[in-house]
Homo-oligomer: A and B are copies of this chain.
Amino acid sequence: MDINETFTDTMDTVIAMIEDGRFLKAREEIITMEAADIGLLLDEISREHMLRVFRMLPKNLAADTFAYMKSDQQQYIIESITDKEINNIMDELFMDDTVDFLEEMPANVVRRVLKTTDAETRRLINQMLQYPDGSAGAMMTTEFVDLKKEMTVREAMRHIRVTGMDSATMDTCYVIDRERRLEGDISLRKIILSPPDAIISDLMDPEAIHLHTSDDQESTAYLFKKYDLLTMPVVDGENRLVGIITIDDIVDVIEQEATEDIEIMAGMLPSDKPYADASSWDTFKQRIPWLLLLMITSVFTTGVLSSYETQLAAFPALIAFIPMFMGTGGNAGGQASVAVIRSIALNEVEFKDIFKVAWKELKTSLFCGLVVAAVCFLKTILVDARYMDDVTMLTAFIVSVTILLTIVLAELVGAMMPLLAKKVGFDPAVMASPFITTIVDALSLVIYFQVIRLFLPI
């Protein structure tokens, strides 16, 4: 992508200027850059340089850039600048960015920041910090255009001119009554296109889709997607408008939820910290619980295998196919479980569809099983039999029947478990490959030995 290459070139040039001490020249370049890019730039240079460059930024750009910086850099800046400078940043920062920033700061930094803000902002910040992590209240910001329902269009336009500059969006304005209760919403285009004397309450949509501060981020994201919204208003327990959520924060939620599901599906505890930033110890803590749990459940497979020790001793060639059953069963079960888990996450499938899903998986697994069994039969005869003396047509037949049954059972188990988990209130994502594999491993061994017993004279 060419935009990325140009971007890397500019970055390198500016970094070189800073390292050569040509700060004024660097500043000329930097003030034409996007805040997100300046944030990346500041991450590449020494702390002393970072502080110096940051203090050279115009007030507006400094606050925008601050929102894109990492916590430890934000802390270093706050600890190095004056109260006046802190106040300038806080004035410009959106409330949701302020809260995100303060949540990561130690108590003394929070105290210092709060000291520089006025009483009303301080009250607001303290209230925002109390919403539980992952709730709509914690995600919202407090800069929005609120119109009184009895305003005329002319009054509304005047109000927008005054408060619109600082709001997170102007496309939609929110209409409230005297007690600040949400009455409806109205688009700016509708206001602009209406006669100056029209009354807002006659023009607004009284059915504004809204959130409560306690709604969780997953259902918030669901509503945004379902109705293709760009912003949503948030109300408190008394239906008073307290904030809005914009879709750019929802994008982060969607990505975070997907990452979380992917981690759980791979048998890890989900983590807020990106892999690149996590220490080996953090990663260890994410991985060890499932590794241990699944290792311990191997007592079942070990048990099954040891109970068939005599049969195995009589036909040692039969042992050699065990990894194939386990691998194929695990893959088939993993495919089905992951397909169903993702469908549940995207609200496409729910528990009441369980019979439809079972029927579909039965057909799919029979198709898959028959094809794999046929190819497996040929592979056993044409490849495996070449270097193993005791592999016969009967062995190939037994192996193929086992793999067919294993696939059918694996896909059924894989598809059903996430739905059952959802029903009883567990996270369906837990029922993915690692867990399913452990069940299917034991099942495939039992099937194998039953098939052997049926066809071999043991």
A330-342 interface code vs B (CB 8 A; 1 in, 0 out):
1110110111101
CB A163 to nearest CB in B, in angstroms, measures 10
Which A191-248 residues sit within 8 Å CB-CB of chain B? Answer: 192-193, 207, 209, 215, 219, 223-230, 246-248
Interface-side segment among A45-53, A69-77, A175-183, A313-321: A313-321
CB distance from A241 to the nearest CB of B (A): 17
Q: How far is the CB of A262 from chain B (nearest CB, A)?
A: 5
B291 contacts A328, CB within 8 Å? yes
**A79 at the binding interface (Cβ < 8 Å):** no
Q: Which residues of B contact A171 (CB under 8 A)?
A: 169-171
User: Inside 8 A of A338's CB, which chain B residues have their CB?
Assistant: 262-263, 265-266, 268
Most central of A288, A342, A364 by chain B CB within 10 Å: A364
Judge if A107 is at the interface, Cβ distance under 8 Å. Answer: no
A189 CA to B163 CA, complexed, in Å: 10
Please provide the chain A residues from 149 to 179 with a CB less than 8 Å away from any CB of chain B in the complex: 157, 160-161, 164-165, 167, 169-171
Our pick among B223, B286, B303, B327 for the contact of A387 (Cβ within 8 Å) is B303
> Which one of A13-21, A55-63, A98-106, A430-438 is at the interface?
A430-438
Which residues of B lie under 8 Å from residue A327 when comparing CB positions? 294-295, 298, 301, 326, 437-438, 441
B192 contacts A160, CB within 8 Å? yes
A280 CB to nearest chain B CB (Å):
4
Smallest beta-carbon distance A332→chain B, Å = 6
- Quick check: A302 and B323 within 8 Å, CB to CB? yes
Chain A interface main SS type: helix
**Are A3's CB and B368's CB within 8 A?**
no
Assess whether A88 is interfacial by the CB under 8 Å rule.
no
Is there an interface contact between A368 and B275, defined as CB atoms closer than 8 Å?
no
Select the residue from A4, A291, A375 with max chain B CB neighbours within 10 A: A291
Q: Which of A123-131, A251-259, A450-458 faces chain B?
A: A251-259
> Which B residues touch A286, using CB under 8 A?
335
Q: Is A343's beta carbon under 8 Å from chain B?
A: yes
Q: Which residue of B lies closest to A432 (CB)?
A: B266
Q: Is the pair A376, B302 in contact by a Cβ cutoff of 8 Å?
A: no
The chain B residue with its CB closest to the CB of A299 is B383
Inter-chain contacts of A165 with B (CB < 8 A)? 189, 193
Question: Is A23 located at the chain interface by the 8 A CB criterion?
Answer: no
A–B pairs, 20, beta carbons within 8 Å: A36-B226, A157-B192, A161-B192, A165-B189, A169-B230, A225-B252, A258-B258, A266-B334, A267-B335, A275-B342, A276-B349, A280-B360, A283-B364, A291-B335, A296-B379, A298-B323, A301-B320, A313-B313, A322-B322, A330-B434
- Nearest 3 A-B pairs (CB), nearest first? A298-B324, A266-B338, A301-B323
A residues engaging B (CB < 8 A)?
Answer: 1, 3-4, 32, 34, 36, 157, 160-161, 164-165, 167, 169-171, 187-189, 192-193, 207, 209, 215, 219, 223-230, 246-248, 250-252, 254-255, 258-259, 261-263, 265-268, 274-277, 280-281, 283-284, 286-288, 290-292, 294-296, 298-299, 301-303, 305-306, 309, 312-313, 316-317, 319-324, 326-328, 330-332, 334-335, 337-340, 342-343, 346, 348-349, 353, 360, 363-364, 367-368, 371-372, 375-376, 379, 383-384, 387-388, 403, 407, 432-434, 437-438, 441, 445
